[in-house]
Structure 1
């Protein structure tokens, strides 16, 4: 993906799943403000925002201006 990217996660435990997946990609959790989760890597910061919840079971995230693959295998 180039620029912004989106991915869907299960809603149950989504914050922990997001932090784990970003950590696997080398990003360190730096904090949260509203629906924005801040991560840092190599002196750079990216923001992952929760943008939409579908029928209580899934949540969509947007990764702002970064090429990060957060897709998970089922």
Structure 2
């Protein structure tokens, strides 16, 4: 298995495995990140609901009781 940190420290190893120097790889990663963010903004689906308009969570009241030395949970609701 290739260690990413070691690959980014060793220019010779990076060239042997990927075919690019560490500097070229970092430049390529920066360009790819910028292009990917633009792509995500263009192809993002519109929300069907307003933010916060979805189903609300439901929390039951929980009470722990001890019956014959055994702890049990009881729920209301």
User: Larger % of helix: which?
Assistant: 2
Structure with greater Cα Rg: 2
Please give the TM-score of this superposition, normalised by the length of structure 1.
0.20
User: Larger % of strand: which?
Assistant: 1
Please give the TM-score of this superposition, normalised by the length of structure 2.
0.19
